[in-house]
Structures are given as C-alpha cells and as structure tokens.
C-alpha cells in the first residue's frame, strides 16, 4: 500500500495521465466508458492509487447512471466524505481515506432499495478489482 503524503511529482510518475486527472485533480471519466460499469465478477474493489480495499462486489448494483455504483464502502473509515459545491450544486465527494484520492460522489434519497438509500457513484479509473478466487 502506498503511504499517505506522496508529492505531486511522485503521483504523476505512478499514475497515467487520465488516472492522475481523476484521482488527484478530482476529474470524472465519461459515463459508460469505465471498465467496471458492467462488471459482475465477485471480489474487492481497491483504490487504484494506493491499493486500499474500498468496496466489496456484493454492495455493487446496477444504477444505470454510467459509473459503477455501490451502496456502501467496506467500512465507514475506508472513505472520506466531503461537501462539494464545485458545479453549483450540493454534492458529497468520496475520497480514499488512505491517500486522499478522488473516487467519485455519493447520493442519498434517490429511492434505492438498500439500507441507507445510497448510491456511491465511483469512477472505474479510480478502482482496481481483485477478483474472488475462481472468478
């Protein structure tokens, strides 16, 4: 796992251009282009930047929004939630708690059938999937 506190130059060397734009600059990949939008294999989704375990595949669901959606992180302390009003609307940004990389946003109150009525809308490029054995 990558230690917290890496400098900007180290991140640029470690990540590809698009990965850097999303993970370190808070960008967003285009909808329906990410490798995990339609992924069905079981496993653990990790932060692409540092390798921290973030989401279990059994919390992934089809929200038809163009990005992978999860109803909860693996544990509450795996992610940080920050208020984001950068586009003139109130949203909640999701960041990796270990390396502070941008992952996506979480939305509540949309009517999803999960315990918190939550949709963690996460960029595929922010994640890597570690498939379960046999997947």
Kindly report, residue by residue over 24-60, the tens digit of the pLDDT: 999 999 999 999 999 999 999 999 999 999 999 999 9
Q: b/e map of 58-67 (b: 16 or more CB within 10 Å)?
A: ebbeebeeeb
Q: HSE (CB half, 13 Å, CA atoms) of 68?
A: 29
Kindly report, residue by residue over 20-34, the tens digit of the pLDDT: 999 999 999 999 999
Q: Which residues are catalytic?
A: 121
Residue range 8-131 in CATH 1.25.10.10: no
Mean pLDDT, rounded, for 115-132? 96
């Amino acid at each position: 796992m990558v230690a917290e506190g890496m400098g900007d130059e180290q991140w640029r060397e470690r990540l590809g251009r698009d990965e850097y734009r999303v993970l370190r600059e808070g960008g967003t990949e285009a909808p329906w282009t990410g490798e995990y939008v339609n992924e069905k294999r079981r496993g653990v989704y990790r932060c692409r930047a540092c390798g921290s375990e973030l989401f279990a595949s059994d919390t992934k669901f089809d929200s038809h929004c163009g990005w992978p959606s999860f109803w909860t992180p693996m544990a509450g302390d795996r992610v940080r939630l920050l208020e984001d009003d950068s586009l003139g609307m109130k949203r909640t940004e999701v960041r990796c708690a270990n390396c502070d990389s941008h992952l996506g946003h979480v939305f509540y109150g949309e009517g999803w059938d999960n315990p918190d009525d939550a949709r963690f809308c996460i960029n595929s490029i922010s994640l890597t999937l570690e498939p379960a054995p046999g997947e």
